[in-house]
Structure 1
C-alpha cells in the first residue's frame, strides 16, 4: 500500500483503480484513505492490538462534507492514543454494538429471576410495569449506556402516581443489580434516586360501618362471593389467599387453615387457627355449594377459582353506603377489632402473617382503649356512693 503525505488537495486528487487501494499518511502512521473502484473515499485507521498482536482496521467515515481530512486525522489520533494505552477501539466498538439492550435485560430478569422465584401475581405486576412504563421509555437503550438521568427522568414522569412510580423504580433497581451479577455492567444507575413520599392508608371499618357491610353481604344474590369476604373478615387473610384456597388446605376437625407457601406473601407455610364462626361458615358454604371443585370458591371456568371480586365489591360498597374502602382494608378491620379488644400487637401480627413487627405498629394506638377502660375502673370505684 502506498504512503503519501495526505493533504486536502492530495486526497481530492486520489484516483480510483480496478482494485481497492489504501493510501497511508506519512505523518500519522496508521491513518489512511481507502479508495474504492467506484471512486468512493473513506478515512480508515489501522493498528495492532498490543496484547494479542492482532491487526485491526476501523473505518472512520466517508470523505466529503460531513468529514474533512482534519476531522478524520483528529479522530484517528484519539483511537491510536487509546491503542498506546493498551486499548482496542475496534473490539470495544463491536462489544458496544453487540451488548444487550434493556429489553433483553427485562427478558432475562423475567426468565431467570421473576418467574422461578416470585409468586405469579408478582410476576404479572412486574410484566405490567415493564410493558407500560419501562420498555417504552428505555427498552431500546443498551444496558451499559443507561444513566442516572434516564431513570430519574422516567421516575419523575410518574410523579402523579407516587406509589406506582416507586414500584417502577424498585423494579428497575433490581434489574440493574442483577445485571451487575451477570456482568452486563459495573454499577447500578438507579442507586441514589430518592423515592416519592407515599401516604400510607390506615382505613378500617367502625362498628356501625361493619354492621352495614354485614347487612349488604347478607342481601347480595352472590353468596359464594359474599362468603369469601366473610372468611376474609373472620381470618384477616389476604383476598388472594382466600380466593386461591383449596378444601385440602383446611382441617376443620382441628380448626386450622394451612396456607401453602406458594400462596403466602412471605413464601412460607402458615398455620392459621380458625374461629368457631369461620369453621361454621366453611361447613355451611360446603353444604350450600357442594364440593364440586378443589377450590373453596370456584370460578366460572372449570378447575379455576374466582379471579377477582372487583365488580362484586363495588356493588356491595354501594349497597352499604361505604366510601373509600378497599377489599384489602378488611385485613385492617380484622386487626383493629382484635387490638381494640385487648389482643397484643405480637399476637395480631402473627395472625396476619407479618414478618416485621413494625408492620403491626399501625394499630398501636388502638391498644390504648382497653388500657383506658381499665384505668377508669378505679375512678368509678372512687366516685361510687357509699
Structure 2
C-alpha cells in the first residue's frame, strides 16, 4: 500500500497504470487518492463502519481531483472521519440518499395509490393538475425527505396572486407528505408544510336573490324556445357571413336547460348531474342514488320540481343529460350557462353558485344546518358551517320580539296582549335581584 504526503505536486505527478491503484496519506489515516486506468483521479476516505476488526470497511469518494485542492480534500476527510468516530456511516447514508425518492416519484405514488383509490375522479384530476403545474416544475427533482419548509413557503408565496389555489396546493402537498410518512418513503412525522400560514380567502359564495332567480328562469325559458340573442363583431372578416341581426339567436336543447334547472332544484354538484344515468334515478321513492360522487356513494332527495324536470326529459342516452355521443355524458355547461348569464346581465355568478343558492334558501328558511348538510351530501359539518350566517330565522324572531315590546313602551305602536310589557315592573324586579 503506497503512502505519501498528499500534495498538489504529488497529485500532478501521478500517472495511470494497467489497473486502478491508491495512494494513501502518510499523516491522516484513511485519506487517499484513487487513480483509475483511464487517468481519472478522486480523493477518497476509508474507514470501518463500526468497532472491532469484524466491522465492514467502507470507502467514500470525496471529490474529483482538480475540483478541490488536496488541503481542502484533507479537511473534508477529517470531517468525515470525525462523524464516523461519533457512530455515523457516511457511505451508507450517501447510498440511501441515492435510493431516496424524488418528490416527483413520491407524487406519482401518492396520486396512484392514494388519491385515485380514495378520491373522486374530479378530485384526482385537481390534485394532479396542482402538483404537475405548480409544484413539480419547481421542486419535483428534489429528494422528498430533503425538502424544507422554506422551499414550501417560497412555493406558496409565489402563488399569492391566487390565494385559493395556493392554499389548495399547500393542503395537497401536506396530504402527500403525510402519505409518504405512512408508507415510510420519508421519516414518520416529516412534513415541511406544517406551520405554514394559509392566505386569507375572500368568500367565494354568491347567493342569487329572488329577483335574480326569476331572471335566470326567464332566460332559460327564452333559451329553449326562441333562443337567446347574440352579437357579432362587425369588424371581423367573417361578420358578413353572419345571419341577420333579427336571426341571431342561440337555442339550447332540453338536456342543457334541464341540467341547469336540476342544479338549482337539487343543489347537486355539476358532475353529479352531468354524469347522472337513468339507472340512478328512483322515481318511485324520489331519489338519485349516485354510486360515486366527490364524497363517495351518495343519495340526493328529489323535490317535486326536480322530479317534473326528470320526467320531461327525452331519454336518448344512458345518461340523463345526453352528450354528443350516446355512450358518453355531456362534458360541461359552459356555453349555455354563459348565454343565460349574459342575457340576465348578472356578473360574478358561477355555475357552482347555484348549489350555494340552494343551500342559502334552506338556511334562510331556518331548516337547520345538519339538514342542509345532509341534503348537499357534506361529510364534514364544517363544510356546511359556511351557511351559518344565513340561518338567521331564530335571531330575526328574537329581534322582532324585543323590538315590538320596546316600540309599545315608547308609544310608537298600539299595545296588544301579545306585545305589552311593563317596563317599570321589569326595572323593579331587576333592582330587587340586584
TM-score by length of 2: 0.79
CA–CA distance in structure 2, aligned partners of residues 351 and 230 of structure 1? 17
Contact conserved, 2:364 with 2:392, CA < 8 A, in 1?
no
CA contact (8 A) 1:20 1:37 kept: yes
Counterparts of 1:201-216 in structure 2, within 5 Å, are 201-216=204-219
Distance (whole Å) between structure 2 residues aligned to residue 306 and residue 91 of structure 1: 55
Deviates more, 1:333-342 or 1:274-283: 333-342
* Secondary structure of the corresponding residue to residue 306 of structure 1: coil
Instruction: State whether residues 259 and 274 of structure 2, in contact with CA within 8 Å, keep that contact through their aligned partners in structure 1.
Output: yes
> 1:33 Cα deviation (Å)?
2.3
Q: 2:289 matched to 1:267?
A: no
Supply the distance in 1 between the matched residues of 2:297 and 2:414 (Cα, whole angstroms).
Answer: 49
Q: What do residues 157-202 of structure 1 show as CA deviations (whole Å, max 9, x unaligned)?
A: 0000000000011111111111111222221111111010011123
2:323–2:330 Cα contact (<8 Å) kept? yes
Report the counterpart of residue 55 of structure 1 in structure 2: 57
> Residue 424 of structure 2 corresponds to which residue in structure 1?
none
- Aligned position for 1:192: 195
The 2-side partners of 1:224 and 1:38 are apart by 74
CA contact (8 A) 1:340 1:367 kept: no
SS at match of 2:50: coil
- What TM-score comes out, normalization by structure 1 length? 0.88
1:282 matches 2:285: no
> Any idea what the Cα deviations from partners look like across 1:288-322, whole Å, max 9, x if unmatched?
x2x23221111112211112111111110011121
Is the Cα contact below 8 Å between 2:180 and 2:186 reproduced in 1?
Answer: yes
State whether residues 2 and 23 of structure 1, in contact with CA within 8 Å, keep that contact through their aligned partners in structure 2.
yes
**Structure 1 alignment gaps of length 5 or more:** none
3-state secondary structure, aligned to 1:61: strand
C-alpha separation between the residues in 2 aligned to 1:204 and 1:336?
A: 7
Alignment length (residue pairs): 376
Segments of 5+ residues of structure 2 without an aligned counterpart are 224-250, 418-434
**Is 1:326–2:350 an aligned residue pair?**
yes
**Does the 8 Å contact 2:366/2:391 carry over to 1?**
no
2 CA distance for matches of 1:367 and 1:309?
38
Q: How does 1:201-350 map to 2 (within 5 A)?
A: 201-220=204-223, 221-222=251-252, 223-260=254-291, 262-263=292-293, 265-272=294-301, 274-285=302-313, 289=314, 291-350=315-374
Q: Distance in 1 between matches of 2:24 and 2:135?
A: 48
Alignment partner, residue 2 of structure 2:
2
Is the partner of 1:6 in helix, strand or coil? coil
- The verdict on how the C-alpha distance between 1:44 and 1:338 changes in structure 2, with shifts beyond 3 A counting, is closer
Tell me if the contact between 1:232 and 1:242 (Cα under 8 Å) persists in the aligned partners: yes
Q: Does 1:101 align with 2:125?
A: no
What residue in structure 2 maps to residue 46 of structure 1? 46
Closer, same or farther: CA 342–112 of 1 in aligned 2, 3 Å: closer
User: Offset at 1:342?
Assistant: 4.7
Deviations 1:323-359 (A, max 9, x none): 1111111122223333444534443333222341524
